[in-house]
Structure 1
Amino acid sequence: MTSQGFAPLTGVRMDRQFFRFEEYLEFDPALVVDVLQGRRFGVIFRDVIPVAAQKEMVAKFWNSPALRRRTGEPSYHVGTYHWNKPIDTYLAESAAETPHVMDVLDVTDSPWHWFRSVLAEELAREGASLRLAEMSGAKACPALIRAWNKEGDFSLEPHEDAAQCRDPQQAGFEAQQVLDYEICAVNMCIEHEEGGRLVLWNIRPDDETRRRLDIEHTGFSYPPETLTDFEQIRLDIRPGDIYVFNGRHVHAVDASRGNRTAVSFLLGYIDDRTVVTWT
């Protein structure tokens, strides 16, 4: 047991040569495919979103009639998320919110549009396609635009993205097939004032750990005191950055001051020829 009474986390630790973030000044979709295929842990493309596009999306976000306040883990957001919901609820919300999401994303030099376009071209070279995740013809939300503003040590508590893809409430949703491959998180920073580093730990928790913490189908959250023995990365994020990483690892956003707004979605293969995204 740890000094705070929690049993140590168990799971997979990766080699230090893998557990690192690589930084680039130009966007390269081949590096995103490397993350998707488990050859790299994470990549960040610095200052690749044009300033004018950032400003226009930020203005549309804060003025959107669909702007909502999320409870529990406080944030403002446009769009919806599948986490801890019945699949019918998520898909109905996605249909209702997609026009508002696309209104925010549809700007000149939109990073959401060109990211997907060039990634789709790269995947096509390998005989694969890119699309939104579906179920019975209903489509996932294209993106979640959100601004974290929770007070405390973490504006987003430590969590991982694999557990939520096993939720029995979502049986039959294509995103659950991603667990046979890698699950990747994509974030596009369009507004960032101070703090709010991305924090990642070198642990992919196993089911025993999730059951012990009663987060088997949510992956949220891991008590910080259970993570002290694991190597960590703290990555400064700036407006204009796009970063992609393996969401099986526990990760968080540390304390931020002011607005920290990003366009986000999850990404992964569901079979050898199909990559899907969802929120």
Structure 2
Amino acid sequence: MQQQTMTKVTGLRADSDFFRFEERDELDYQLVLDVLHGRRLGVIFRSVIPQAARKELTDRFWRSPALRHREGEPSHYVGAYHWNKSTATYLDETAEVIEDVKAVIDVPGSPWATFREGMAQALAQEGASLRLAEMNGRSACPALIRAWDQPGQFSLDPHEDSAQCQDPRQVGFEIQNVIQHSICAVNMCVEHTAGGRLVVWNIRPDDEARRALGIELTGIPYPPESLAEFDEIRLDIREGDIYAFNGAFVHAVDANTGNRSTVSYIMGFTGADTVVSWT
């Protein structure tokens, strides 16, 4: 039997000064701005979500009438994904679920509201603004609340967030301008049992690698064996943490036990003075 050749992942490797996470015990939005500007890989803020807010948000998530289960990359979720669909479909799905999303995240001490307000103030000092991504007067979903539950080595397979922003079905949607800058994934952990580390590999794949793997417009999955040559970070995630990182680098969530529930979205500059977010 002929042995199958493993696809080599090509792209950009960062130097050691960039490829690391800063860790703090209080929110520092200047560090998040560094991620947005492409000056650092990521930052994690430990235990910055109030316990009461974590509990209330988690309870609302699991009780939400909009709670769904996603196949493929299995997860329980409330919200809308732009991934692998037309902009019109994404915005239609957002319109259907936006009030349910707001009902989950609008809790006293909401980490979503706190983080957005802090980021908006930090960006304003640079003459920039933060808002939801838009098209034809319609807005993106403000957040995804989700709990990954795939069995095996990874509860979320190795992937990156840039490929999905090149889908021709989304031409004209302003998120496609973000890939000219730095794409920043934001996650707020409101529930956690065990495991579920964030794994990031030191490779920012190019289009050639995506084509070879047949994931040009989805960015998932990257076979784990194809990533073995790259340095990696495995970051413990705990309930109450907020973390932000450059989602153009291949990343995953490794196996977890119980629930690992997060409030998430993606954001990035579309130009010199505007940052947009979407899900």
Specify the TM-score bucket, using the shorter chain as the normaliser: over 0.9
For residues 207 and 253 of structure 2, the distance between their equivalents in structure 1, rounded to whole angstroms, comes to 23
Contact 2:7 2:213 in 1 (8 A): no
* Root mean square deviation, CA, Å: 0.8
What does residue 95 of structure 1 align with? 95
| Letter matched to residue 32 of structure 1 | V
1:232 aligns with 2:232: yes
Contact 1:160 1:249 in 2 (8 A): yes
The one-letter code of the counterpart of 2:230 is F
Whichever residue aligns with residue 151 of structure 1, its letter is P
Q: Do structure 1's residue 148 and structure 2's residue 122 form an aligned pair? A: no
Q: Does 1:76 align with 2:100?
A: no
The structure-2 alpha-carbon separation of the partners of 1:245 and 1:4, relative to structure 1 and needing over 3 Å to count, comes to: farther
**2:168 alignment partner in structure 1:** 168
Structure 1 counterpart of 2:8: 8
Q: Deviations over 1:54-89 (max 9, x none)?
A: 000000000000000001111000001100011110
C-alpha distance in 1, partners of 2:74/2:11?
29
Q: SS of the residue aligned with 1:271?
A: coil
Work out the CA distance in 2 between the residues paired with 1:148 and 1:216.
Answer: 23
SS at match of 2:14: coil
1:207 aligns with 2:207: yes
Which residue of structure 2 aligns with residue 119 of structure 1?
Answer: 119
1:96 shift after superposition: 1.1
Once residues 201 and 135 of structure 2 are traced to their aligned partners in structure 1, the CA distance between those partners, rounded to angstroms, is 33
1:5-44 equivalent positions in 2, closer than 5 A: 5-44=5-44
Match of 1:63 in 2: 63
Q: Which runs of 4+ in 1 moved over 2 A?
A: none
Write the letter of the residue equivalent to 2:23.
Answer: E
1:7: how far off?
2.4
Cα shift at 1:4: 6.0
Show the counterpart of 2:256: 256
Letter in 2 for 1:141: C
User: Where does structure 2 lack aligned partners over 5 or more consecutive residues?
Assistant: none
- 1:186-242 CA-to-partner distances (Å, cap 9, x unmatched) read 000000101000000000001000000000011011000000000000000000000
Compute the TM-score of the two structures, normalised by the length of structure 1. Answer: 0.98
- Residues 151, 255 of structure 1: 8 Å contact kept: yes
> CA offset at residue 5 of structure 1?
2.3
Letter in 2 for 1:125: Q
Shift of 1:180: 1.1
Shift, 1:8, TM fit: 1.5
- Does the CA contact (< 8 Å) of 1:191 and 1:261 recur in 2? yes
1:115-149: CA deviation from partner (whole Å, max 9, x where unpaired): 00011011001000000000001100000000011
Distance 1:4 1:263, change over 3 A: farther
Q: Which position in structure 1 is the counterpart of 2:271?
A: 271
Q: How many residues align?
A: 277
TM, length-normalised to structure 2: 0.98
AA aligned opposite 2:215: I
